[in-house]
Amino acid sequence: MTDAILVLNAGSSSLKFALYSDIIVGHDEAVMQTPLLRGKIANIGNAAIFSAYDAKGNVVPPQDHMICEPSATHDTLIPALLEWLQNHGGGATIKAAGHRVVHGGRAHAGPARITNTLMAELEDLVPLAPLHQPHNLAAIRHVAAFTPDLPQIACFDTSFHRTQDRLAQIFALPRALTDQGILRYGFHGLSYEYIAGRLPSYLGQHGGGRVIVAHLGNGASMCALKNRQSVATSMGFTALDGLMMGRRCGALDPGVVLHLLEQKRMSPDEITQLLYRESGLLGVSGISNDMASLEASTAPEAREAIELFCYRAACELAALCAAIGGLDAIVFTAGIGEKSALVRSMIIDRLAWMGVALDPTANEGNQTRINSDASKIVVLVIPTDEESVIARATRQLLHVGNATPAH
Ligand code: ADP
């Protein structure tokens, strides 16, 4: 019987899961980072779709009762998934669950064991991440209901950014509001932690240099790293700030929000819907929030959406250079960053003045190192793996009692 760590990453319409062997920290990293099984339930709330793969990448067949139920919700799927894992988890015994939790507030610079007190604290942060935090917390509650004694660990997307200087974290607002926690928290920290941990294997001793990681998925942000620590990031108080995203607007003049409230008489709920769900690639194109679909479209609106996405990304990347005093390497990651040669080239072309250039063949081939020989800046494509960061932290907190970063 293998002891295993269950990793859950609950989104609004998806649930990613993975089982990692619970071997003691200090063993072979490669073994620790390779899941015994991983999968995803997508499209929750609208005919859920299940997929799972074993350690060798072979498809693990689903069990009809949990997968094909069109009315399945997070509430029904999590207990069903836990039951399914008992039968299809390769005989593994789950010893702990690690969760992605978007917001850990100011207090948590690392993972934390779930207690009633912590749950109450995380509940208070729901208004700061209304689209993500409730699902993360619901997953924790469902696991607790199914297996009350199972240790559970929360791994926060905000934690990685707590190394930032105060200047990078505060807004130019009255001090009283800063003291109340109206700060730039930053997100996608688990992804950045993973990439930071991989840098030495790609950049050697330069891994600790000035690096900007572009996490470009449905949600998108950038993080400026020095010594593999977060110095500045594009997302702020909420996951709305910074880059243009699939459905989110990114950085916006706050005067627009006041205008929508006062002149357009929109309600806060309507504005939330507009900024989180109807803007970004979807809003500008009027076609789709999905980059691959926009690339396949011949509509000028699709092209304009892609161009705005890349223009905003290039401007943000250049701004982040000021926080780290220059740039040695750029890393692209997440769905768009890993797969879209077009987006990477459109962003890098706008930064040619920095002396950065791509090797077109390497870029088209989604190779790991995609800069040209003449480029003064290294450009890498590194697939992210948030689940392995959660597994590592969970194991470590379980066995050692504290969790150090993956690097
Ligand atoms: P999430 O933030 O939901 O985890 P992902 O990291 O999976 O999202 O990224 C999803 C985005 O990646 C979508 O916009 C999708 O179209 C885009 N993407 C995936 N594959 C490709 C591709 N081959 N070309 C262009 N975009 C792609």
Q: Is the CB of 364 under 6 A from ligand 1?
A: no
Listing DSSP states for 287-336 in one string gives S-S-HHHHHH---HHHHHHHHHHHHHHHHHHHHHHHHHTS-SEEEEEHHH
Residue 293 CA, closest ligand 1 atom number: 16
**Best mutation site among 336, 338, 364 for ligand 1 pocket (most ligand atoms within 8 Å of CB):** 336
pLDDT of 405 strictly over 70: no
125 lies in the same domain as 252: no
Residue 38 lies in a domain: yes
Residue 209 lies in a domain: yes
Residue 193 lies in a domain: no
Q: How far is CA 15 from the centre of its chain?
A: 13
292 lies in the same domain as 145: no
Provide the Cα torsion 198, 204, 209, 214; round to 10°: -30
218 Cα to the center of ligand 1, angstroms: 6
26 lies in the same domain as 130: yes
94 lies in the same domain as 217: no
CA neighbours closer than 13 Å in the CB half-sphere of residue 117? 2
Residue 281 CA, closest ligand 1 atom number: 14
Q: What are the φ and ψ backbone dihedral angles of 94, each rounded to 5 degrees?
A: -75, 125
State mean pLDDT over 310-315: 98
The predicted-structure confidence for 242-296, as pLDDT tens digits, reads as follows 999 999 999 999 999 999 999 999 999 999 999 999 999 999 999 999 999 999 9
The predicted-structure confidence for 379-394, as pLDDT tens digits, reads as follows 999 999 999 999 999 9
Residue 344 lies in a domain: yes
Q: Is the CB of 218 under 6 A from ligand 1?
A: yes
Q: How confident is the model at residue 47 (pLDDT cuts 50, 70, 90)?
A: confident
8 A C-beta contact, residue 246 and residue 287: no
| Stretch among 71-80, 111-120, 344-353 having the lowest mean pLDDT | 71-80
126 lies in the same domain as 211: no
Range of the domain at 210: 203-381
113 lies in the same domain as 244: no
109 lies in the same domain as 238: no
8 A C-beta contact, residue 207 and residue 199: yes
Structural domain count, the chain = 2
**Confidence at residue 125, expressed as pLDDT on a 0 to 100 scale:** 93
pLDDT of 406 strictly over 70: no
pLDDT of 60 strictly over 70: yes
Strands annotated E in 115-210: 152-156
Going by alpha carbons, the residue nearest to atom 7 of ligand 1 is: 335
Q: Is the CB of 329 under 6 A from ligand 1?
A: no
Residue 312 lies in a domain: yes
Query: Which of residues 123, 156, 189 is at a domain's end?
Result: 156
219 is in an annotated binding site: yes
| Stretch among 28-32, 103-107, 146-150, 200-204 having the lowest mean pLDDT | 28-32
pLDDT of 89 strictly over 80: no
| Stretch among 31-35, 166-170, 282-286, 312-316 having the lowest mean pLDDT | 31-35
Q: pTM higher than 0.75 for the full model? A: yes
Query: Which of residues 99, 126, 156 is at a domain's end?
Result: 156
292 Cα to the center of ligand 1, angstroms: 7
Check which CATH number belongs to the domain holding 210 and give it.
3.30.420.40
Q: Is the CB of 302 under 6 A from ligand 1?
A: no
126 lies in the same domain as 216: no
Residue 384 CA, closest ligand 1 atom number: 6
147 lies in the same domain as 214: no
**Confidence at residue 67, expressed as pLDDT on a 0 to 100 scale:** 59
Burial grade of 117 (CB within 10 A; 0-12, 13-18, 19 or more):
exposed
Q: Which residues are catalytic?
A: 157
Going by alpha carbons, the residue nearest to atom 3 of ligand 1 is: 218
Residue 79 lies in a domain: yes
Q: How confident is the model at residue 42 (pLDDT cuts 50, 70, 90)?
A: confident
**Best mutation site among 43, 216, 218 for ligand 1 pocket (most ligand atoms within 8 Å of CB):** 218
235 lies in the same domain as 337: yes
Q: Is the CB of 290 under 6 A from ligand 1?
A: yes
Residue 9 lies in a domain: yes
pLDDT of 30 strictly over 70: no
Average pLDDT over all residues of the chain? 92
**Confidence at residue 306, expressed as pLDDT on a 0 to 100 scale:** 98
**Confidence at residue 129, expressed as pLDDT on a 0 to 100 scale:** 87
Provide the Cα torsion 264, 269, 273, 276; round to 10°: 110
Q: How confident is the model at residue 29 (pLDDT cuts 50, 70, 90)?
A: low
Residue 318 lies in a domain: yes
366 lies in the same domain as 229: yes
Q: Is the CB of 242 under 6 A from ligand 1?
A: no
| Stretch among 88-92, 161-165, 255-259, 299-303 having the lowest mean pLDDT | 88-92
211 CB-near residues (< 8 Å, 6+ apart)? 199, 203, 224, 225, 226, 228, 327, 328, 329, 330, 331
The proportion of the chain whose per-residue pLDDT surpasses 90, expressed as a percent, equals 75
**Confidence at residue 389, expressed as pLDDT on a 0 to 100 scale:** 96
Spatial distance between the Cα atoms of 148 and 223, rounded to a whole number of angstroms: 37
Q: Categorise residue 204: left if φ over 0, alpha if ψ from -120 to 50, beta otherwise.
A: left
150 lies in the same domain as 219: no
